[in-house]
Every structure is written in structure tokens, then in C-alpha cells.
Structure 1
Amino acid sequence: METNIFQKIARIVLGVAMAFAGVAHLTFQRAEFQAQVPRWLPDNAAFMDLVVISSGVVEILLGLALVFLVKHKVKVGVALAIFYVLIFPGNISQYTNGINAFGLDTDQKRLIRLFFQPVLILWALWSTGALKYLISRSKN
């Protein structure tokens, strides 16, 4: 699926941002990301850390794939969109439990953040050509 220059730039920017976020999971923002682990999961420090480490590794891999696996960009875009859906409960948990992290220290800020997840999903799908692919496929 062909993409234009704006999509290519958006894909690379998103890939670098994802890789950076993944590194942050493993290092300097680990505690912040632990605050986003949904409270309905086991409340065990080691388990919560495993969730953060695992999601960080996945983010690094997806970020690098966005940048370097150009021939597979549609598949990577779909995978990243699915990943964003899967981690969304963490954002909901942060909001519903009033957990401060990443400067989100009010209910209003945490609520506003929830509306950015669909933007990330669309960004992943649009920048990789996956959105066009999925729409054309649904018409057949």
C-alpha cells in the first residue's frame, strides 16, 4: 500500500515516539507506567513490573518495526492499533481510580487523555496505509 510523504513522516515520528516510550517503560518512567496498570489485574508489585516491562519491550519492537519494516507497514500499523486498544484499559483505570502519573493530576486531565487514544489508533492506521487497506478490503 503506497503512502504519501506526510504519512511516511508521521509513521517515522510515531515509530520513534513508540521506541522512546518503550525505553521509558524500562528506565526513567517505570513507576509512572506502573501507575497505569489496571487495578483489576493482580495487585502484586512484581506482576505490575512485569506488565510494564513487557509492554515496554512490545513498544520498542513496534516502534522499530514502524521505522524499519516498511514492506510490512500495513501489518505493523494494524498490530500497533490493536496494541493501543489493548492498553486502553490502563488509561481508563488511571482515570477511574484517580491515579496521578505523567502530569495527569486532575480528573479533567485524565479524562481528556482518554480521547487521545482513538487519535493514536487512527495515526497508526493512517500513517501506515492500513486504514486505506482496511477500508478497501471491507468494500470487497
Structure 2
Amino acid sequence: MVNTIESTSKLQNLARIILGLFMILAGIGHLSIQLQEFQTQVPDWIPLNKDLVVILSGIIEILLGVAMIFWRGQRIRIGIALAIFYVLVFPGNIAQYTEHRDAFGLDTDTKRLIRLFFQPVLILLTLWSTGALKQLIGKSPGINNPQ
């Protein structure tokens, strides 16, 4: 049996590429001009040096961004990996809100709270744009469901 992956629409492909570019730019920001802003989001309870956390997450973001754009044959797996990454960094967004930390123009609790609601949207957009959402709910042949 051959595993087939259902194609995605032009809109999904565009969203996937935009997300990939966003991740690459965010990763570059982690490694350069926005390093201190990203340090703000690292919760104090993380048992690693904040610089190390920001640099490692920046490298991961660049790799995932490049993969989102160019590794189309693995787009479902990459989409799931990126969604997991977004879940893993979400505590940083929560810490920014609960600890009242200013970064990226989020200088009020209201702005920081609104930002929290965008993370689930980002996760769903990632899963949808890669076809992973359809795969995960079992309505598409793919990595684990051969036709």
C-alpha cells in the first residue's frame, strides 16, 4: 500500500508559506535585534539560561519555517511539529501576561490578554494550512491512513 497525502488548496498553501516566512523572521529576531524582547517571555521557572532558551527556540523557528515552505512532502508532520512548538511556547505568553512583562508593544494587561487568544488561532491555522487538521480528525488519507 502506498501512503498518499491529499493536496491542499492554493489558500492553504499561501497560508503555509506565510507562516513559514513568519517563523523564519521570528527566528532571526530571536538571534538578533529582538533577543531581549524574547527573553521577556521566558518564564523564570524554566531551569535554563534565558539566552540559551531564546537562541534554541530561534534556531527551531528557523528550521520549522524553512520546513513549512520547502518540505512539502512532509507538510502534515511539519504542521503537527509546529503546532506542538506553539503549545510548548505558550507558557511564555502566559508568563508575559501574569507577570506583567512588556515586550513587542504588549505594554498593558489587556493587550497581553488579547495576545493569549491568538495562540489557539495560530495553532489551528498551522494545522489547517498543512492539511494536518483534516488528517488528525480522520477525514483524509495521509501519513497513517493509506487508501
Select the residue among 56, 59, 75 that pairs with 1:57: 59
Residue of structure 2 equivalent to 1:30: 35
Aligned-residue RMSD, C-alpha: 1.5
Residue of structure 2 equivalent to 1:135: 137
Residue of structure 2 equivalent to 1:118: 120
Mapped partners of 1:41, 1:137: distance in 2: 38
1:37-94 deviation line (CA, Å, top 9, x unaligned): 012224x7xx100000000000000000000000000000000000000000000000
Whether 1:90 and 2:95 are equivalent positions in the alignment is no
Residue of structure 1 equivalent to 2:25: 20
Structure 1 residue 137, shift from structure 2 partner:
6.3
Give 3-state SS (helix, strand or coil) of 1:12's partner. Answer: helix
Q: Which has the higher contact order (CA 8 A, sep 6+)?
A: 2
Identical amino acids, percent of aligned pairs: 62
Select the residue among 75, 81, 90 that pairs with 2:83: 81
Mapped partners of 1:15, 1:114: distance in 2: 21
In structure 2, the gaps of 5 or more residues are 1-5
What TM-score does the superposition give when structure 1 sets the normalisation length? 0.94
Mapped partners of 2:43, 2:72: distance in 1: 33
Max radius of gyration: which structure? 2
In structure 1, the gaps of 5 or more residues are none
What TM-score does the superposition give when structure 2 sets the normalisation length? 0.89
Query: Which ranges of 4 or more aligned residues in structure 1 deviate by more than 2 Å?
Result: none
Structure 1 residue 130, shift from structure 2 partner:
0.1
Residue of structure 1 equivalent to 2:106: 104
